[in-house]
Amino acid sequence: MTKQKELLPNNSNEKTASRRRFAKTLTAAIVSAPLAAQIAGAQTRNPTPKEPAAPPNPQPSPAQNAPKPSPLAEAYAEVARVRFGERLTDEEFARVKDDLAGNVRVAERLRAFKLKNADEPDFVFFA
């Protein structure tokens, strides 16, 4: 009976040992990951000098680039003015008007993009 116990390890000790081994392995991997990344980065670096980057182009402000609002956006703005005009300041109403014009432009761009019946959605749903 004693020999049989020696041949068959105790299940609780075996689980503890494997958990400890796993924890040590995981800790070693986490500790050594930055070093491995640094070594890999040093090996893949290209010694050729980089060309100086061109200065960034200044972007025009939205007020300079904004196209004239469409008649539909003007109609939406008029509805907003009639409905909420007494609660909005002139500055707030200008922002609402700009937002409505932007929404109309986005809607026009979406409508301009024609889809075929066979076009699939951009994602695939799995349950």
Tokens of 84: 């909420």
pLDDT tens, residue by residue, 35-84: 777 777 666 655 565 666 666 666 665 555 667 878 999 999 999 999 99
pLDDT tens, residue by residue, 87-99: 999 999 999 999 9
d(CA 120, CA 70): 32
Three-state SS at 104 = helix
Residue appearing with tokens 């200044």: 58
For the chain, what are the domain ranges? 2-44, 63-112
pLDDT-derived band of residue 10, with 50, 70 and 90 as boundaries? low
The answer to whether the pTM exceeds 0.85 is no
Angle between helices 90-112 and 71-84 (to 10 degrees): 140
33, pLDDT greater than 60:
yes
* Phi (first) and psi of residue 113, to 5 degrees: -85, 105
Is 70 in contact with 107 (CB distance < 8 Å)? no
